[in-house]
Amino acid sequence: MTFELKKLPYDPTTLNPVVSPKTFEFHHGKHLQAYVNNLNNLKTGTKFENMDLISIIKESEGPIFNNAAQIFNHEFYFDQFAPSPKSKPEGALAAAIDAAFGSFDNFKKEFSAAAVSVFGSGWAWLVVNAAGTLEITKESNAGTPLTKNQKPLLTFDVWEHAYYIDFQNRRPDHVAALWDVIDWKVIESRF
């Protein structure tokens, strides 16, 4: 099985200024493409050669894991954006957020704080944990909830390549801006 760079589900010019076309050019077109190329090269001749991405993530380690997990994390991240998103969750997800965090506004505050406080490079995630409740988690580098029996719903990429062109070293500004392009219809479908 050969992996390919997944197309974005929207025109990358439509998320500007939250995510500029130049950031998409580097983040999607170069960084994610590099992970795809690396994984295709690394898995050749190994037991992972014909596995799907999730199986590779769950069964590998080292460079193969890092590249496979980064493909999943990035595709998951890019798929949750829209130029005119549904701005708040409804129904069962809204109720679960209220139950876990008190309110949607408090959830956003806690999630943003988690994303800003990731040391170095990594990810903030909203997941359904093994107990079936919502939880905010943080992962370093290529870490992903898939290896921890958690179902991912939402993620913010806080590697510098995700925001440096648009926000330089202002990670909190990047995190605050991302809320404007998160499509809660997508997040609800993952729930």
Whether pLDDT at 67 is above 80: yes
Q: Return the pLDDT at 66.
A: 97
Q: Return the pLDDT at 115.
A: 97
CATH topology of domain 91-190: minor pseudopilin epsh fold (3.55.40)
Q: How many helices (H) and strands (E) does the chain have?
A: 9, 3
What burial class does residue 178 get, using C-beta atoms within 10 Å of its C-beta: 0-12 exposed, 13-18 middle, 19+ buried? buried
Q: Do 93 and 187 contact (CB within 8 A), yes or no?
A: yes
Q: Do 158 and 123 contact (CB within 8 A), yes or no?
A: yes
Domain 20-79 architecture: Orthogonal Bundle (1.10)
First to last CA, the chain: 28
Q: Do domains 20-79 and 91-190 have the same CATH topology?
A: no
Q: Where are the domains of the chain?
A: 20-79, 91-190
Could you tell me the pLDDT band of residue 159, with boundaries at 50, 70 and 90? confident
Average confidence score pLDDT of the chain: 95
The predicted model scores a pTM of 0.94
pLDDT tens digits, residue range 126-141?
A: 999 999 999 999 999 9
* Residue type at 60 in one-letter notation: S
Could you tell me the pLDDT band of residue 183, with boundaries at 50, 70 and 90? very high
